[in-house]
Structure 1
Amino acid sequence: MSSIMKPSPGAVILAAAGALAVPLAATPASAAAHGPESIVVRRGGPARGLPFVASRSGEAVATFTVAAPGVSWARRGAEAAVVAVAVDGRHVTDLVVPSAEPTARSVALGSVRRGEHRLTFAFASAGSAAAARRVTVRRPRAGTPRADQVALRHAPIVVGRTLPQLGDAYQNARTDTPLLAWHEELPATKPGHRVLEYSVVWSNEDGGTDTPALMARWGRTTDIEWVYRVEVDADGRRVPGTGVYQAPNHQTLAFAGRYEGDHPLLQTCTVNNNMCDTVTPDAKLRFFLDSTPTRPADRAREVVMDRSPWTYPVMAQEMVRENKIENPADPATPQVGDQRTYLFLEFKKKTGAPTGIGSIPGVSIGVRLKRDPGTLYRSDHSTPSWSIERDLPAATTVELPAGAKVADIASVEAVRQPMGAGDNGAPATVTSINRGFFLDAGYLPQASGIAWKGSVTLTPASPSAVLWKP
């Protein structure tokens, strides 16, 4: 069941793993599945299912808590279990389960008619790690939510990567697995129309931005990319010819591939998780992420991870398993150390007009500790190209000595840093720190202990300033 299956005529195939949606049991549009509160699927065992009733025709979503005993994304040979999900006998998604800890997940089920249906789960042995023997699914709920039908209707299907240099066609069950998706609404030129943009969070990227730069410039080692945009009219219908996707080398190309209903079929086809609009015949996994979540316009994209904290352990464990972590960790080196030693920050700034010729300034964040106020630990490790030049809410991290906590911090500072040769003189004004937290022993985000709002302008003459003190 884990191989890609052609849909029956008129059917819509959707797939895999989102986690930001409100549980459908809490929404009036949902219809609870009428079955056991817990089901277990086993390697070599039969599929297990339960009925559900759709209160209206439309795009369906399922929510549940899932765990795979014996599985750990940190261990080779134990990375994950794969579960194939079907509706009325039609395979709709593969779900990668990378943890033995119960984790709230949600998946899209595709288009269903009003009435009774059957949701089934099957252990997909071919894609599962050797250590995975069973998966427990608790409190499954399914239905057609009243809200977000247009967003669900146009969400892309993401087919698993099949690059030979990275393994077999099940490689996304072991590396760079899709974790979350969300959508945003952008303005369109024509009144009454809007543009839907869909983005995906992967557990890492096996190529592209190197790991230390990811931590400095993006505040995580997951990969986050927009994958598909499309214009819809006032009735939510796709405007022909408006679909585009993020292609290799981060190009924006017109989508010329196949649609299943209104869902474009895309495949992850590069080491840094860009898309192709043709699918290789050997593809085995498909992920149609629940794209109903959105993000606040004034927050960095990483907020979607903050709202699904289970993504942080997956991120960190992939770094450990792939030997990308410096041991012992040393904040004096640019190599990525234990991610539990980093302060995860999000800040907002704006760059002013240049006054001369030279490189644009970025901003890095520095931290001083009470026990050693003379040392400034910088997010960019004093590498100019690792400072942040984009004028959007931005996430970054600062590596600190092991054991440091928010209570040990004397100050958080902003540092103006030209990105390359010369300095164009533009000021940079920092206006907020939106959150600051460490990861706990299990790599889960602790509560944010740092927040600040104000206005501090950095210039060539005054390139640094304190933003926050306890």
Structure 2
Amino acid sequence: MRSRVRTTALGLSGALLAAPLLTVPAASARPSPAPSVRRGGPARTLAFTAARAGEAVLSVSPAAPGVSWDRKGAESAVVSIAVDGRHVTDLVVPSATAIPRTLGLGAVRRGRHRVTLRFAKGSAAAARVVTLGRPSVRVSQDPVLRFAPVVVGRTGLPNNDPYQNAYSDTPLVAWHETRPAATAGHRILEYSVIWSNEDGGTDTPALMARWGRTTDIEWVYRVEVDERWRRVPGSDVYQAPEHQTFHFTGAYEGDHPVLQTCTVNNNMCDAVTPGAPLRFLLDATATRPADRAREVIMDRNPWTYRITSQELVREGKIESPSSPATKAVGDPRSYLFAEFAKTTGAATGTGSVPGVALGVRLRSDPARLYRSDHDDHAVAIDRDGAVATTVELPLGTTLDDVASLEALRSPIGAGDNGAPATVTAVDRGFFLDAGYLPGTPSITWRGSVTLTPEKPSAVLWEHGNL
């Protein structure tokens, strides 16, 4: 079910500026430079008037000259954000290039409010200033915003640094999904977050093979709401350490549950470390089509590919020279990033479930097959639905070099249980450009091929379809 959404447009009664308040320049005047916050400098304030109560959302395109997520000591600048004097969220700025961001600011009452932005502790040594491009606030009655979790930054392992999310495993994007509950008229809201990487859990080569990215994507919080969008008491749960599902017993800020990242693979705890300095309330109004993989959220925020690639570079996780002949992760720009849809039928015997891998042949050497699982069948994809993977190719390969894309039956353990695996779609295939941003997706396919022990491979797409 789709929620009814109303957004109140705000008449800005001020602009981002330092006290004392300055008048907004007339439309005919020369545009003023983007406002900024500086290390050791004053905070900047955005005044706005909410025509009615609701959830406030800040949109801004920040940039931090001298900052780059791939350089130690220059990873990010941190901006602390308060509403009416209350710290609500932090913004990690990982780039000298502006990145559009939207952040939740929590519930506000009808009337006038002030958003304060301040250059914060936790910023890298190289960070000196953050420019705040096109800042604006909206107030929405979308009930999905009310229940979005506040995610407090990790303070424990791997290094017990309370500011570690300013340079490692930083939260990038959030979204929600909605499905019917068992009670008629009720629905389940599930909130997920994309982190720039994970310091533990699935190893990096397996992430690329089984998930098609090196970000960490986790559902964080789930709650049942009734037909009037009230939380059903005792219904809310969260993803706890070891991917367990626990009932939430922590604190709320309004309807927002307060959780903390407490493991190296970004699982949650509902007991928060007192005084933890970083907190993240990301705008979770985005969702995804039911027939697309979760990675489509990254596709819609292409800068996330750059950040996760730069974290690999800085942490020394990329082999040199990059080679598709090894399982080690190569240069991210050497991979074909693909998404496909599959279903698995009933087993006809004993043995392991059939995973599916993708294979690529190049026009220059069609006899050689490059596999997403690197011939390690344990990392083939056994889950059904829309899934993402990558195929490592020689560095410099382009879409024009690809001769064909194939589906490969790849049982993930001993034996083969005989279940048919049917592939019905390829939704995108792209390479990253020189700046680690996705190129135009040019490989798509619709059809139906069924992989069996007797027919373990099938061509999905050939170069003539480009």
TM-score tier, shorter chain, comes to over 0.9
Counterparts in 2 of 1:156-171, with a 5 A limit?
156-171=149-164
Q: Distance in 1 between matches of 2:290 and 2:74?
A: 38
Shift of 1:28: 5.8
2:46 is matched with which residue: 29, 38, 50?
Answer: 50
- Partner in structure 2 of residue 455 of structure 1: 448
Shift of 1:166: 2.2
**Aligned AA for 2:53?**
S
SS in 2 for 1:63: strand
Shift of 1:151: 0.8
Query: Which runs of 5 or more structure 2 residues have no equivalent in the other structure?
Result: 17-31
Shift of 1:167: 4.2
- Partner in structure 2 of residue 129 of structure 1: 124
TM-score normalised according to structure 2 size: 0.93
Shift of 1:164: 4.4
- Partner in structure 2 of residue 29 of structure 1: 8
SS in 2 for 1:313: helix
Q: Deviation per CA, 1:134-175: give whole Å up to 9, x if none.
A: 0000111102124xx211111111000011432410000010
Shift of 1:282: 4.3
- Partner in structure 2 of residue 20 of structure 1: none
Shift of 1:89: 1.8
1:222 is matched with which residue: 215, 218, 223?
Answer: 215
Q: Deviation per CA, 1:97-133: give whole Å up to 9, x if none.
A: 0000011001111111122211121000x21000000
Q: Retained in 2: the 8 A contact 1:32–1:142?
A: no
- Partner in structure 1 of residue 25 of structure 2: none
SS in 2 for 1:214: helix
Q: Distance in 2 between matches of 1:353 and 1:92?
A: 50
- Partner in structure 2 of residue 87 of structure 1: 83
Q: Retained in 2: the 8 A contact 1:32–1:141?
A: no
**Aligned AA for 1:29?**
T
Flag as ranges the 4+ runs of structure 1 deviating above 3 A: none
Counterparts in 2 of 1:241-390, with a 5 A limit?
241-390=234-383
Shift of 1:31: 1.3
Q: Retained in 2: the 8 A contact 1:178–1:201?
A: yes
Q: Retained in 2: the 8 A contact 1:162–1:282?
A: no
Q: Distance in 2 between matches of 1:241 and 1:164?
A: 30
Q: Retained in 2: the 8 A contact 1:184–1:294?
A: yes
Number of equivalenced pairs: 442
- Partner in structure 1 of residue 137 of structure 2: 142
Q: Distance in 1 between matches of 2:380 and 2:158?
A: 32
1:415 and 2:408 are equivalent in the alignment: yes
- Partner in structure 2 of residue 6 of structure 1: none
Shift of 1:284: 1.2
Q: Distance in 1 between matches of 2:180 and 2:39?
A: 48
- Partner in structure 1 of residue 20 of structure 2: none
**Aligned AA for 2:111?**
G
Shift of 1:32: 4.9
**Aligned AA for 2:448?**
S
**Aligned AA for 2:127?**
A
Shift of 1:91: 1.4
**Aligned AA for 1:108?**
G
1:106 and 2:86 are equivalent in the alignment: no
**Aligned AA for 2:117?**
F
**Aligned AA for 1:156?**
P
Shift of 1:305: 0.5
- Partner in structure 1 of residue 420 of structure 2: 427
- Partner in structure 2 of residue 439 of structure 1: 432
**Aligned AA for 1:461?**
E
Structure of higher RCO (CA pairs closer than 8 Å, 6+ residues apart) = 1
SS in 1 for 2:382: coil
Q: Distance in 1 between matches of 2:195 and 2:412?
A: 28
Query: Which runs of 5 or more structure 1 residues have no equivalent in the other structure?
Result: 1-23
Q: Deviation per CA, 1:436-461: give whole Å up to 9, x if none.
A: 00000000001101000000010000
Shift of 1:55: 2.1
SS in 2 for 1:445: coil
Q: Distance in 2 between matches of 1:341 and 1:171?
A: 29
- Partner in structure 2 of residue 14 of structure 1: none
1:39 and 2:1 are equivalent in the alignment: no
Identity %: 66
Q: Distance in 2 between matches of 1:443 and 1:426?
A: 38
Q: Retained in 2: the 8 A contact 1:196–1:232?
A: yes
TM-score normalised according to structure 1 size: 0.92
1:200 and 2:190 are equivalent in the alignment: no
SS in 1 for 2:307: helix
Q: Retained in 2: the 8 A contact 1:55–1:143?
A: no
Q: 1:346 to 1:102 in 2, by over 3 A?
A: same
SS in 2 for 1:393: strand
SS in 2 for 1:166: coil
Q: Retained in 2: the 8 A contact 1:169–1:282?
A: no
Q: Deviation per CA, 1:250-300: give whole Å up to 9, x if none.
A: 001111111111111100000000000101124110011111111111000
Q: Distance in 2 between matches of 1:88 and 1:255?
A: 28
